[in-house]
Structure 1
């Protein structure tokens, strides 16, 4: 038996189990059909931002930032690189938005700085051509950075004494009649060649793009998330780019983002016409990837060259196109299902799972142990 069964050994599932342990719930298990991070966590770029235009998001992000520093508490390293983060503005309206966000950061005690055009371009030297750039300024957050996804997840397991069962396939969720709605009673898994039952009244669905399949095992027909192909590319080395100094970059006007990778840049963005893959999620394999669709990704590359002409003269040495889950309102799917008591959702993080992982894991743990989140 188990007090809580977490389904999915990615960053959200492991963070939830870590925080349950911190709150004194030790009879918790994580079941993973393959190996930890093998779903969508392993191919993420690991960005950790501090600022978002939402007080709720900032609270969640702050907890994640605390977790990235686990190594300072004698726990295994998370691969944390503190290179800072920079939001770029091309017009006065965007700068006004960043001024408001800067004010919000002061309230929450998060260091940030409004930069003028000259300061912004200087911080990104040699990536921006001052003569042709239309940048007006930016918002700099010096404590942003990124983690190594697998190291981060390994640190959560070690730091929280998390019990993970790898190569453990969920095959059934049994529910019984309860007051006004059904409730979780037991789960069945296939482990080491045998079918085993685990008595539990609580299941947390942290299975990423596979979350709708897990939900159906509990008799939940549909959940509002869509699986899509999501991509990034890594350039050849660029002189002047420094692994621990060149900041993460987010350009909201051009809908692109950058992260350093050694002396190279990792370039990503949100596809305006994405490839939908929910109909074939059941066929996806652990650690699986797709061929990059250059027609879809091309707009991100074009915008990257528009922002940084040097990219147009630099080769691409690696591409990654993997599954990601998104929601209609671009907010994650979190909380207890209205139809099945004891079945909790924690999926569809809209390619923001690493950044939200600490906060979501903590709030889920509070929800499970006290009956409600803190926010």
Structure 2
């Protein structure tokens, strides 16, 4: 009979590589009373049949940091535990068959080098020398990462499990969690079925590492964990004479990867249209344990046909194993880490999108430190569970989206690439109006947003490229209309949070860095900081009345912001409500915006009546709205907050009157290109919880004299010690190259950091980027005295650096 403890500090659910890594790292931090529960046997879900590829280069600096940690951990685990991990740093090669893929690889080399990865672009002949069996006649370029490798997934997991046991972790197999008990919004215990008996473990923390079962485990606690399994195919050949040891090979243009192991070749695929499993309406079989799915050779055959041409020796190699097993995928191809936004001490580490082996070492380390310290050890927004929208737990949505996400792992990772499946879930009241006028939509947090507007007769879809895409001229026209005339944006997707109650002002004063104790009618731009002075939220706070405030946040961070607000209520008497769906937001922006507003409303929009940073209640057409005098594009303008039932009418009123002043409909690409000319920061790129508010250049929005607030001491310490880096704006001299993000910043010939965000400055006449420059002990003048270049795909371009916005540095236009 299985003996379970009556209580534990932590219960980890799932005995795959992620669960064992979390338990191992918690034990390393000195945590005790840790129990890991596995429904069947360790590795019996997905881990056991993983390919075991261990790469170091990921899409961002911190994801690369975690991948590098994983590789280093697996190297030393055998010495620590005595369990062989099979870790072998054989290197990897990625080849490009198109110019676009070659550009992507070259950009990844730049990003990797800037983040300490030993990666280099190699010639086609070099690739052939490293991988003699490769057919290279149509290969146009390649990269090599010497310290990439491969390992044995099952052994790695058992090594982590043994290390965890050595640290006191109790691991129990054949123990299925059937329920999670919540008390006062926090985890209180789990119900377990083991050995034919049911029992309960009282606990302070639960960690959901249940892999493809994680969706259901989340549902036990009313936590959305959106993921769905897909069938993942690979073959293993019979032994091939004279094969020799080879690096891992990725031919992503053919959706294939190759791994040599013990004289055999493993050929795996991430095909463009995947097969979700189980079918919609079915559940994972209760008895699933080390199971395979039925073969589907017809599905795999197109990959194999290309592989035989790419690797001619496969034509004569026998197939030892044709394997099909399930792996879970998330709607955005990024895994989940962190504490659930709506349940305290419910943690997740799951949804690894077929990179669980190469991710779990670092993910386990980061989550353990997060649990131990109460906040993430560095910026993990890329994978933070708080990015999830509640609707995404919908099973039909997940089933249909997963068909696409598996294939996107090896698709070209073009800038601005949009998901094609499971679209249209969240729509503005103006969706059909904008669609009829040429809108081409993108998706953020499920919202359909007009990214750009096609002209009459122009195709209404993206043609992706690393160069100028087919909407570049449309963006230019929209951008210049905002700079010289007036543009209209639909920003209904803004997150809107109403905070009200007797203690609302004192509560927000404690959270916000700026002074929000202002008269009703005022709008305050502020940040919410953590204890390190890092930025947890970037928002505006509008005082509606003595006891009511409206917080406006990016749509993508709404759940994160709600969670932060609710977790820090303490004893305050406040009510926090998500009112996003109650109002639409129409942004009227540009030097002619006042002329337009005067045509549609009898209200006074003068600087005397409605100065920058205030709102007025207005009549507009036959309706009503609040006109917020703020701007994210650097021009005179208003955000109009309109009841959703009146939105269409207000839009039609503005459009009709706009004919007289040249009103132009504008999309989100233009919003971004305008804001970057003005050096306005973008949360998640330019500012994160790892970036100090002063080093981000946002000290003007911090009022230390108002009294205590979270992060105040860190701000004062930074003022005393001085800045160690500064956020700088860059403008390329050459008007041709494009900046997106992760391009290397080169100072006096040396790479010092990367571009955090970039776009084309159509008014300034070239690409613009933001990025941090290390400057410990230096003055602003010394920072600007250097020579700067930006490295784009291996080529360096001269750039002008500025600490003040290159467009309207005194912000005179927004106050006009």
The TM-score with structure 1 as length reference comes to: 0.92
5 Å matches for 1:339-354? 339-354=342-357
Q: Size of the alignment, in residue pairs?
A: 365
Q: Aligned-pair RMSD on alpha carbons?
A: 1.8
Determine whether 1:166 maps to 2:170: no
Distance (whole Å) between structure 1 residues aligned to residue 61 and residue 271 of structure 2: 27
Are the aligned partners of 2:78 and 2:85 in contact in 1 as well (CA < 8 Å)?
no
Determine whether 1:104 maps to 2:111: yes
User: Structure 1, unaligned stretches of length 5 or more?
Assistant: none
Are the aligned partners of 1:6 and 1:205 in contact in 2 as well (CA < 8 Å)?
yes
Deviations 1:50-73 (A, max 9, x none): 112321321110111111112464
- Corresponding residue number in structure 1 for 2:160: 156
Are the aligned partners of 2:293 and 2:325 in contact in 1 as well (CA < 8 Å)?
yes
- Corresponding residue number in structure 1 for 2:237: 235
Distance (whole Å) between structure 2 residues aligned to residue 35 and residue 338 of structure 1: 30
- Corresponding residue number in structure 2 for 1:370: 373
Distance (whole Å) between structure 2 residues aligned to residue 236 and residue 58 of structure 1: 34
Q: SS in structure 2 opposite 1:74?
A: helix
- Corresponding residue number in structure 1 for 2:266: 266
Residue 193 of structure 1: how far off its partner (Å): 3.3
Comparing 146-155 with 9-18, greater Cα deviation is found at: 146-155
5 Å matches for 1:107-186? 107-125=114-132, 127-130=133-136, 133-160=137-164, 161=166, 162-177=169-184, 182-186=185-189
Distance (whole Å) between structure 1 residues aligned to residue 12 and residue 41 of structure 2: 14
Are the aligned partners of 2:77 and 2:160 in contact in 1 as well (CA < 8 Å)?
no
User: Structure 2, unaligned stretches of length 5 or more?
Assistant: 1-6, 380-816
- Corresponding residue number in structure 2 for 1:36: 42
Comparing 5-14 with 255-264, greater Cα deviation is found at: 255-264
Candidates 353, 357, 372, aligned match of 2:360:
357
Residue 322 of structure 1: how far off its partner (Å): 0.8
Distance (whole Å) between structure 2 residues aligned to residue 71 and residue 271 of structure 1: 33
Q: SS in structure 2 opposite 1:249?
A: strand
Question: Which has the bigger relative contact order, CA under 8 A and spacing at least 6?
Answer: 1
Q: Choose 1 or 2 for highest CA Rg.
A: 2
Residue 91 of structure 1: how far off its partner (Å): 3.0
Determine whether 1:12 maps to 2:18: yes
Distance (whole Å) between structure 1 residues aligned to residue 293 and residue 148 of structure 2: 30
Candidates 66, 69, 75, aligned match of 2:72:
66
Distance (whole Å) between structure 2 residues aligned to residue 216 and residue 72 of structure 1: 37
Distance (whole Å) between structure 2 residues aligned to residue 78 and residue 246 of structure 1: 18
Are the aligned partners of 1:115 and 1:139 in contact in 2 as well (CA < 8 Å)?
yes
Are the aligned partners of 2:78 and 2:159 in contact in 1 as well (CA < 8 Å)?
no
Residue 84 of structure 1: how far off its partner (Å): 1.2
Distance (whole Å) between structure 2 residues aligned to residue 225 and residue 159 of structure 1: 29
- Corresponding residue number in structure 2 for 1:306: 309
Are the aligned partners of 1:70 and 1:78 in contact in 2 as well (CA < 8 Å)?
no
Are the aligned partners of 1:6 and 1:17 in contact in 2 as well (CA < 8 Å)?
yes
- Corresponding residue number in structure 2 for 1:338: 341
5 Å matches for 1:85-100? 85-100=92-107
- Relative distance call for 1:341 and 1:149 in structure 2 (3 A) is same
Distance (whole Å) between structure 2 residues aligned to residue 136 and residue 156 of structure 1: 41
- Relative distance call for 1:72 and 1:188 in structure 2 (3 A) is closer
Residue 166 of structure 1: how far off its partner (Å): 0.9
- Relative distance call for 1:273 and 1:92 in structure 2 (3 A) is closer
